Chains A and B, each alone.
Chain A
């Protein structure tokens, strides 16, 4: 079983839709989680950090459920520019800096 698992999608949604991605992790010692956004052939860019139960930034909301070991990302009012791959990331044990990436979920927002 992979340490961080995501549904690769693709998720095809119309502009203005609300879309949610889920991610599960197997290492219960992981303390910090992140969502990164990666555009085609570009580097991953930090979207949100998730340290406690959740975090909200504008149209984006991330939630962490430690009991069930999953993290979610909710995008409201989707824009064409939200089209990208969203990577769920966990920290290795002890917050030592090793990041463990999921495969990524591809989102395509259509007009």
Chain B
């Protein structure tokens, strides 16, 4: 049973460029959430996708956008990259509407460096 997979694992981009990160959820999971983790901080919620729609969004600018495909995989797009976007980007998959809250499983992350 494949867990959550993300690609690429590492990425270096220049300020102002655009980047696309990809995530395949754990088998049987229908919900994908994206998080940004800066060095020394806990992950911060970016947004969540379910049934190909953005259901919740954290406090991130519109430069951050996403998509979910019919097979539940997801992409995170960041436009006009800033130095401050350098972070570990984590994808979490889960099942929505479970009775006792969703236990989320994380991919290994994409480490983005903006220079």
Q: Using a CB–CB distance below 8 Å, which chain A residues touch chain B?
A: 4, 8, 31-32, 34, 41-46, 49, 51, 87, 91-92, 95-104
- Surface stretch bound by A, among B61-69, B70-78, B79-87, B99-107: B99-107
Give the total number of A-B pairs whose CB atoms are below 8 A apart: 73
Asked if B18 lies at the interface with its beta carbon under 8 angstroms from chain A, I say: no
Partner of A43, one of B40, B103, B109: B109
A45 near B106 with CB under 8 A, answer yes
Q: Using a CB–CB distance below 8 Å, which chain B residues touch chain A?
A: 31, 33, 35, 40-45, 48, 50, 55-56, 58, 88, 90, 92, 94, 96, 98, 100-109, 111
6 residue pairs, one from A and one from B, having the closest CB atoms: A32-B101, A101-B42, A43-B106, A95-B101, A97-B102, A101-B43
Question: Please, how many angstroms separate the alpha-carbon atoms of A41 and B10 in the complex?
Answer: 12
> Which residue of chain B is the closest to A46 with respect to CB atoms?
B103
A42 near B42 with CB under 8 A, answer no
**Chain B residues with CB under 8 A of A100:** 45
Question: Please, how many angstroms separate the alpha-carbon atoms of A49 and B48 in the complex?
Answer: 21
Minimum CB–CB distance from A12 to chain B (whole Å) comes to 17
Question: Please, how many angstroms separate the alpha-carbon atoms of A97 and B47 in the complex?
Answer: 10
A99 near B92 with CB under 8 A, answer yes
B100 near A101 with CB under 8 A, answer no
Question: Please, how many angstroms separate the alpha-carbon atoms of A82 and B33 in the complex?
Answer: 27
Partner of A98, one of B41, B48, B106: B48
Question: Please, how many angstroms separate the alpha-carbon atoms of A103 and B111 in the complex?
Answer: 19
Question: Please, how many angstroms separate the alpha-carbon atoms of A24 and B40 in the complex?
Answer: 19
Question: Please, how many angstroms separate the alpha-carbon atoms of A99 and B36 in the complex?
Answer: 12
**Chain B residues with CB under 8 A of A8:** 40
**Chain B residues with CB under 8 A of A87:** 42-43
**Chain A residues with CB under 8 A of B45:** 92, 98-100
With A44-B90, A92-B56: A97-B43 Cβ-Cβ less than 8 Å:
no
